[in-house]
Chains A and B, each alone.
Chain A
Amino acid sequence: MAGLEDLYREIILDHYRAPRNRGELPVPPAHQVEGFNPLCGDEVVLYLDVHDGVVTDVKIAGQGCSISQASTSMMSAAVKGKSVAEARTLTRAFKALMSIHESKIGGDTDEVDVAADELAGVRLGDLEALQGVVKFPVRIKCATLAWNTLTQGLDEIDA
């Protein structure tokens, strides 16, 4: 049976105790977006600075369980300085790690092949540590909250 060490890898606890990119950005020009897990009390606040299709700066705030806050910290470090397209690809790759394959939900087999190719080369780095979350399905929403909030923020900026 999966144990605590599978879920709470050292790097996750490190991000929880010392989150990266903690703070605020002046809004505007930055965009503020908030995400909540209803029923459980995880809260993520993101400040996104996007210029010419690049996420030039990210700051994070919020409170919640160690998985949600560590995932937020790791996400911020992963997307800072990346293009919006790269950030969206990272999001898809991370969700695939969490066994969430949106193209499979759609049921289109062609899309599944494209998605697999696209995600094959994505390097998740530290984010791999969150792989253990899959063994504790009730915590998957904790890990994905940061990424869903990021997607919402990027969509709002695009709109």
Chain B
Amino acid sequence: MRGGVLSFLFPHIHAHDVSQVLDEEAVCVRAGHHCAKPLMRVLGIPATSRASVYLYNDTDDIDALVEALAKAEQFFAL
């Protein structure tokens, strides 16, 4: 059995801000510690965004995610 869960982070953009931009682009992800604070501590990171896919997602959704991430990167560019 396989599952599709992807946790990721930008080095200079907080997961909350990423998920805010994605929300604007109608892409829904979770952001924060995901009830795994000890793991965050071990990895030395503040938080992650997490995208999950299931049988109702298709490659168009992945394209939307990628485009939205590019927008987030641009919006918060230093």
Contact = CB atoms under 8 A, between A and B. Distances in A.
A4 B24 contact: yes
A49 interface: no
Contact of B46 (A7, A64, A136): A64
B40 interface: yes
Contacts of B14: 41-42, 63-66
Interface residues of A, number: 19
Given A41-B32, A41-B33, A65 B21 contact: no
B76 A66 contact: yes
Interface string B21-33: 1001000000111
B42 to A, nearest CB: 14
A41 B46 contact: yes
A3 B24 CA distance: 7
A159 interface: no
Interface residues of B, number: 18
Nearest to A63: B46
A38 B31 CA distance: 12
A2 to B, nearest CB: 10
A87 interface: no
Contacts of B46: 41, 43, 63-64
A43 B32 CA distance: 12
Given A41-B33, A67-B16, 4 more contacts: A4-B24, A8-B20, A39-B35, A136-B20
10 contacts: A3-B24, A4-B21, A17-B78, A38-B33, A38-B37, A39-B35, A43-B46, A64-B14, A66-B76, A139-B20
